[in-house]
Amino acid sequence: MTTQPPLDGRTVSTGGLRVAGDSHVGKVRTTNEDAMVVEPERNLYAVFDGMGGANAGDVASQTARDAISSYVAHRRGMDPKSLLEQALQHGCHAVFSASQANRDHAGMGTTAVACMIVDNTRAIVAHVGDSRAYLLRNGRLQALTRDHTIVEELVDKGLLSLDEAERHPYKNVLSRNLGARPETRVDVVEIELRPGDRMLLCSDGLYGYASAEAIQYLLGSGDAPEHVARDLIELALRGGGGDNVSAIVIEAPPAPPTSTQVVRTSGALAWWQRRQRFLQIARERGLTRNPIVRGLDAEEALDLVALSLCQAIFHDLEKSTGVNVWTFAQNLAGGWFERGGEWAPLRGMIDILGMSARSVVDEIRAADPPLGFLIDVAVSRALVVAELALGGLLAERLRHIDGELIALHGAMQETIDVLPPLEETTNSGEFVEQQTIPFMRPDRVMTNPGGVSPETISAIEKVLTIARARTPPRAEAVKQILTALQAISSDDGGHFSSAVLAAREIYGVRTVDDSGIMPLFDALDQARIMTASSVHQISATDVVKAKALRAISFAHQRLVSAVTGLVLEAVSPFADRLRDAQALTVQLRDQVSGTERKRADLEKKFAETIDQSLPWEKRGETEW
């Protein structure tokens, strides 16, 4: 049986493995005494390097090759480790018998290094002689075999140093081979294969004329195994090529790409390839008629807004980030608000872009469901980032308005009833019934009173129900706030009372410090995020969704304003105490300054009174 492959270096793929082998006679010899086994159907790969005069070397290597291949083919039910070891023993006996049968072949033998791939995660390596097996893992090359030479055995026994072994005249004389005796000792090792590993089986014609660093570089180059095998042989030839050289490269399957990798490559590309479709849908949904792009022609509006978002999503998909979409939303909303724009056109623009993006994702999902699912998740995340950016900008504007209200309150402080004396208050941070913040009066008329339709109320209930369901179990404050938002947003009385009552219940009694106040505002922020992301989950028209989100946003603003007022009430006693302490500090500082001036005057007077003509030791006895 002849199993020598055509020496064209072609890669063979099987079960995810990629394998290629090649051999060359070298620059000195006229006969190639190396032989190889490349049998993907049996997952058997081997390199043999024959030895012996009068063409006996190539006979030995081919005899061992055929015997081992035949043995493995007819005994596939055995344990792989035992099978490979016994196959090499069978090859040893075959070579020995052939040398005994032909006097011209007496004394012939061959090295052998063989590998059997059990599965994509395990391999068995067996060897006799000085043909080697290497493993490249994570860019690091390591030897899997140890040469069976007389010098190596002397080093193992401590009779030679490594430096002496390198210069020893018998360093290439084998202590074991296939064929010198009917049986031999075979070294067998089991290897765990990891994704991306590469194994190299080679004769001494490779590593004898090429450095380990060069072999490592070529194995780790990432080129196909067929190119690597050819490049390794070329490397040995450039190094002198004084022997036959053979190499087999075995590459384990790469790790399956993660969902993040798929999105960053195939997902980002699929999204970008449909950018014109995204622009078309945005135009059809009325983007070019939105007040934000008034004054621009249609193409300019699409490029400025829709294409900018499309590019931002593409770059965020590529880099698994959200910074580009966040920046887009901040710039769009910030520029519009700086021009005095209203909320409704901005909300409409974001809804148009979001619906256009989802339409494109649906088309990708119809063409490629697995990829479409991953893109759906990634693009949905990007749209949530845009909503969070808008929410952050609105929260900043709300804080600015609250600051103006507080400043107004300070200017009117002298016309408002003050708190009871400090000694009558507690340090618990509990609010008092006496109204001190004028914009918290329950009977104050709201900016957007009443007018909530039953359809909008139903949508509000659905949004907040979804938000409560998605709230973590321990986030009781967030759930309480969501319940309060439902009552406030559905209040059509036209007054601030529901927000004030809800704020008092949520505030309760808490310490006036970071541990007491910050969790409250964190919960308010979390509730805002939950409602903004839940409004898209309900089944309703876009108009109803917009009205529901608008009502919830107004409710959230009123609740935040009321809670802020309660915090101001709670810190008011401490602020008064601080002002008193500051006034007292100023008085004490003035007293200290006066005392220092008196002391300086006394020191000056004392210095002028001392009689300078007296000896130093008697100056202190001067009478005043």
Is the domain of 504 the same as that of 529?
Answer: yes
Average pLDDT over residues 118-144: 93
- Whole-number percent of the chain with pLDDT over 90: 42
Give residue 43's domain range: 12-251
Tokens for 252, please give them.
Answer: 């384990």
- Render 547-581 in DSSP notation, one character per residue: HHHHHHHHHHHHHHHHHHHHHHHHHHHHHHHHHHH
**Model pLDDT for residues 143-176, shown as the tens digit of each residue:** 999 999 888 888 877 778 777 777 777 777 889 9
Position 607 in a domain: no
Is the domain of 210 the same as that of 344?
Answer: no
**Which residue do the tokens 């009478």 mark?**
623
pLDDT score recorded for residue 405: 73
Over its C-alpha atoms, the chain yields an Rg (Å, rounded) of 43
Is the domain of 332 the same as that of 443?
Answer: no
Helices then strands, counting H and E runs in the chain, come out as: 20, 11
**Shortest CA distance to 499 belongs to which of 562, 454, 428?**
562
Chain CA centroid to CA 84, Å: 43
Is the domain of 462 the same as that of 438?
Answer: yes
- Whole-number percent of the chain with pLDDT over 70: 85
Count of structural domains within the chain: 3
Q: What is the pTM of this model?
A: 0.51
CATH number, domain with residue 130: 3.60.40.10
Position 368 in a domain: yes
Position 318 in a domain: yes
Q: How many CA atoms lie within 13 A of 157 on its CB side?
A: 7
Q: What is the DSSP letter of 592?
A: H
Assess whether pLDDT exceeds 80 at residue 186: yes
Is the domain of 377 the same as that of 431?
Answer: no
pLDDT grade, residue 431 (50/70/90)? very low
| Of the candidate ranges 31-35, 85-89, 482-486, 605-609, the one whose mean pLDDT is the lowest | 605-609
Supply the mean pLDDT for the chain. Answer: 83
Single residue among 411, 445, 465 that ends a domain in this structure: 411
Is the domain of 210 the same as that of 94?
Answer: yes
**Shortest CA distance to 459 belongs to which of 542, 377, 364, 397?**
542
Single residue among 381, 411, 441 that ends a domain in this structure: 411
pLDDT score recorded for residue 410: 64
pLDDT grade, residue 109 (50/70/90)? very high
State which of 40-54, 300-314, 486-500 shows the largest mean pLDDT. 300-314
Position 583 in a domain: no
Is the domain of 127 the same as that of 192?
Answer: yes
H or E stretch at 525: helix 514-534
Position 555 in a domain: yes
Which has more pLDDT, 311 or 436? Answer: 311
Position 616 in a domain: no
**Model pLDDT for residues 452-475, shown as the tens digit of each residue:** 788 888 888 888 888 888 888 888
Average pLDDT over residues 228-238: 94
Is the domain of 327 the same as that of 432?
Answer: no
Assess whether pLDDT exceeds 70 at residue 282: yes
Catalogue the long-range contacts made by 588-592 (C-beta closer than 8 Å, 24 or more residues apart).
none
**Model pLDDT for residues 390-406, shown as the tens digit of each residue:** 888 888 877 777 777 77
